[in-house]
Amino acid sequence: MVDGISRNTLAILLVEDSPRIAERLRELLTQEEGVRVVATVEDEPAAIRALREMKIDLLILDLQLKVGTGFGVLESVGARRPRTIVMTNYSLPQYRERARRLGVEYFLNKEKDFERLPEIVAQMRAGMN
């Protein structure tokens, strides 16, 4: 056990600037066994700090933040970042391509793909073992 988290638990950092959406995401994610949202932050500097200070297995990242952007987070932490899911209302082709180039595994539209998140996270958790 590390930091109170079992090795079989998927530790998630949620980066979302809307408190309402962050709460919905936490509720959705914590329904899954073996999943724990270890922190929720709302801006680029806090996300970068959390990624440097905590052991995170999965980053769920919004692109438009109160301060900075999700792309700024990805570029700042580079290859040291955990597996990543982008969830955004801005699913423009150029954003999708940029995210792909930065190694993002899933690029989801909040409006269309919100309910897919638990299934995707469960698949990622299964891949940990």
Domains identified in the chain, total number: 1
Domain that holds residue 20: 10-126
Phi (first) and psi of residue 94, to 5 degrees: -70, -35
* pTM of the predicted model as reported, rounded to 2 decimal places: 0.89
Q: Is residue 23 part of a domain?
A: yes
Q: Is residue 4 part of a domain?
A: no
* Residue 5 clears pLDDT 60, i.e. is over it: no
Write the pLDDT tens digit of every residue in 96-110: 999 999 999 999 999
pLDDT at residue 127, rounded to an integer: 75
Nearest-angstrom CA–CA distance, 94 and 117: 22
Q: Which two tokens stand for residue 12?
A: 């998630």
Nearest-angstrom CA–CA distance, 98 and 16: 19
Mean confidence (pLDDT) of the chain = 90
**C-alpha distance from residue 24 to each of 101, 118, 122 (Å):** 29, 12, 17
Write the pLDDT tens digit of every residue in 42-87: 999 999 999 999 999 999 999 999 999 999 999 998 878 899 999 9
